[in-house]
Structure 1
Amino acid sequence: MTALSARRFVDYFQPEQLKRLSSLMTPKRVQSGTNLFQDKEQADYLYFIHEGIVKIFNNTESGEEIALSLKYAGDMVGDPCTLSPPFQWSNAVTLTDALLGVIRKEELEALMLRHPDLALRFIQWLSVNQRILETKVRDLLVYGKTGALASTLIRLCNTCGRETEEGILIPTRLTNQDLANFIGATRESVNRMLSRMKRENILSMRSGRLIIHDLNRLREFCHCDGRCPGNVCVL
């Protein structure tokens, strides 16, 4: 798989490279609601997700949550950068029971020194993550709350959406407050935006899960021409 089509951490690596990474992993099962790390905590470990969902977020000084991303099976969470200060820059909590592969950062650094091809793949992965963050900020600042919400819904479709007869199902249960946390909005404003989208048959809700009926209409809200690489337009 090429870097442009990669969407999960595992997609950036060859089977032999993944085998080397797996040799460093200590399996760990955790329950839903487990805090993996916190902002400003010593960044000694990385966590590969074998099963489950992990939310990455920060908190404002007033205690409000700013959701940054959702990570699924095949993703890696934690700060792998050897050039940055050895502290986490965000918080991570499991949204479901999860099976993780825990990697000591110093062991990963030693492995990359022995295998520069592995380090190159990490650089590609980090570069794309940076671009994802930049495009999220662009959508919020340039296209307003409605554009940011539309962008978040599109990214959810690309990250975990499933094609159904009704439309694209988002299997992860998300409340209006969860969506508000992704775009720095209030729950009430998200309620209004979603109500409008429901009236226009852009989306609907089934058993607490979103179904997207009109992806092109969402793209209009955030001026998306559909040309972004698939590995960038993700959550």
Structure 2
Amino acid sequence: MNGASATGPEAASADRARSALMRAGTPRTYEAGEIMLLAGGTDTFVLVLLNGFAKVTTTDSRHAAVLVDIRAGGDVMGETAAFDSEPRSATATAVERMSVRRISQDEWLAWMNRHQAANLAISRSLAHRSRTAVRRRIQFTRGPVIARLSSAVLDLTEQYGARTPEGLSVRPGLTHAEWGELIGAGERRVQHALQELRTAKVVSYGRCRLTVHSLPALRRIAADP
């Protein structure tokens, strides 16, 4: 339930809502590679992610999986189906071992009805997600591949980057193919762009590992038309 911070009575109300949510449902653990939500599924439970990362994928016109988003600890997944009872629109897969709270549709809706602050937080979260999707569609799919890749790397680094002695480690680790799915580019073009960034000493990379050495340089490249 990530979102803008509240203060005063609003913060206290949000804390009560969050505490109630953490008591709702049942604890569940997903192992790396395990499907958490399946596109087309008719289940309506909600998942509150307590830690780790999940990859969200859909299918393209050739029925191939395409990475469209990353979710992390503190996020909520599956709430749309809980609201409208329609089939799941995407598949979510655990990147690593994850702990969650699995909450039934009835319990989720009851929680929403009991806590006004929850309605506001979820509405803000959905609005932020929608705005982010539009922004990414523009930044990740237009312009030179190296600029689009830099935008995607910058986006994940600013959200989930972990400080290391070498720089900022981008989390979660993505394959070259998955970076390509995010920006609408072929794997070979992603490899070429990564080589350019490495030659410029902006990043270093290995198998499912990417470290950013210069955020200012990455921002300049991302902004290059």
TM-score, normalised with respect to structure 2: 0.86
Please state whether the residue corresponding to 2:158 is helix, strand or coil. helix
The answer to whether the 8 Å contact 1:35/1:94 transfers is yes
More off after superposition, 202-211 vs 85-94:
202-211
More off after superposition, 45-54 vs 72-81:
72-81
Is the aligned partner of 1:109 residue 2:109? yes
Please state whether the residue corresponding to 2:194 is helix, strand or coil. helix
The answer to whether the 8 Å contact 1:143/1:222 transfers is no
1:127-149 per-position Cα deviation (integer Å, ceiling 9, x unaligned): 11111101101113433432221
User: Cα offset for 1:64?
Assistant: 2.3
Equivalent-residue separation in structure 1 for 2:131 and 2:144 (angstroms): 19
Q: How does 1:14-163 map to 2 (within 5 A)?
A: 14-80=14-80, 84=84, 86-163=86-163
Partner of 1:172: 172
The answer to whether the 8 Å contact 2:203/2:210 transfers is yes
Equivalent-residue separation in structure 2 for 1:171 and 1:127 (angstroms): 24
Equivalent-residue separation in structure 2 for 1:55 and 1:171 (angstroms): 11
Equivalent-residue separation in structure 2 for 1:199 and 1:3 (angstroms): 37
The answer to whether the 8 Å contact 2:81/2:88 transfers is no
Q: Work out the number of aligned pairs and report it.
A: 218
User: Cα offset for 1:175?
Assistant: 1.8
- Structure number with greater CO (CA < 8 Å, separation at least 6) is 1
- Partner letter of residue 177 of structure 1? A
Unaligned runs of 5+ in 1: 225-235
Percent identical residues: 19
Equivalent-residue separation in structure 1 for 2:132 and 2:5 (angstroms): 14
1:172-211 per-position Cα deviation (integer Å, ceiling 9, x unaligned): 3222112112112111010000011111111112675211
Runs of 4+ in structure 1 deviating by more than 6 angstroms, as ranges, are none
RMSD: 2.5
TM-score, normalised with respect to structure 1: 0.82
Cα 1:15/1:221, change in 2 over 3 Å: same
Structure 1 or 2: more helix by fraction:
2
Unaligned runs of 5+ in 2: none
